[in-house]
Amino acid sequence: MLVDAGDGVVSQLLGAGIALETVHNIALTHMHWDHILGYPAFVWGSWNAGRLKLDVIGPLGTEAMHEQLVESYYREQAEWAIDLGFLRAGFDDITVRDVPVGWSREIAGCLVEAGPVYHPPMHALAFKFTYREHTLVVTGDTAKCDELIEFCRHADVVVIDACAAAPSPELAPERRRIIERLHEFHASPQDCIDIAAQAGVGKVVLTHHLPGATHNFDVSNYAGAVLIGNDMDVIAI
């Protein structure tokens, strides 16, 4: 299960030693560019590598994104590739579904659930994965909200948007203002710790860092572990 497909997802998967054609499920948290720019690259790269099926879920707008970024633009090239000998399977039969908060399905023994976040004006989802009584939540982009705290309750690991960190003091004032406005729809590192504490989460992984952001937070009310996530981290759940 790949969660989100930002720019560079193909090279990052290969760098992590994951064969592209073995990824058969994608959960997209929302349609902001930084979460989907690599989606067409993944569809093409994995299909050309031999992927024969793909199921994609995401919030309202996911089906339209696939239609516009893959079908509308690349259909002609796909037909050319099929003419070369690539199988239709894996391109023609990709299933893409808009799913609501509360959606759930068991995939390969893992319960996958879609949950609520606050990231206006986008339709956006968090995803929870429960496998052998171990639970991971990946929030995607979100500000702190009560519904997300409930969704994260007692999760073993929560990978969370900590984008709203204090901007670097070296930034120009107009850049600082942009980042400060982002705080309306992203959580700060302290919000993430507070969410983890209030939800009784075992380990919280802060992600979605902006260049030069500083991660100041107080963990005195949180008994769990805090990780500043980096590319290629492997986290046991």
Using CB under 5 A, list all residues that contact Zn ion: 32, 34, 141
**Which residue, 141 or 194, is less far from Zn ion as judged by CB?**
141
- The residue type of 186 is H
CB of 4 to Zn ion, least distance (A): 8
Task: Please state the closest distance from residue 128 (CB atom) to Zn ion, in A.
Answer: 19
**Cβ 206 vs Cβ 229: under 8 Å:** yes
**Using omega within 30 degrees of 0 as the cis cutoff, is the peptide bond preceding 121 cis?**
yes
Minimum gap (Å) between residue 208 Cβ and Zn ion:
6
Q: Which is nearer to Zn ion, 35 or 51 (CB)?
A: 35
The minimum distance between CB 175 and Zn ion, in angstroms, equals: 17
Q: Which amino acid is at 208?
A: H
Contact present, 2 and 29 (Cβ < 8 Å): no
Question: In 10 A of CB 72, how many CB atoms?
Answer: 10
HEC secondary structure over 177-201: HHHHHHCCCCCCHHHHHHHHHHHCC
Q: How far is the CB of 123 from Zn ion (least distance, A)?
A: 11
Name the residue nearer to Zn ion (CB basis): 7 or 71.
7
H/E stretch holding 154 reads: none
Contacts of 139 (CB under 8 A, 6+ apart): 29, 117, 126, 148, 152, 158, 159, 160, 161
- Considering the complex, state which of residue 37 and residue 149 has its C-beta at the smaller distance from Zn ion: 37
Nearer Cβ to Zn ion (34/93): 34
Question: What is the smallest separation between the CB atom of 6 and Zn ion, expressed in angstroms?
Answer: 8
Nearer to Zn ion, 210 or 225 (CB): 210
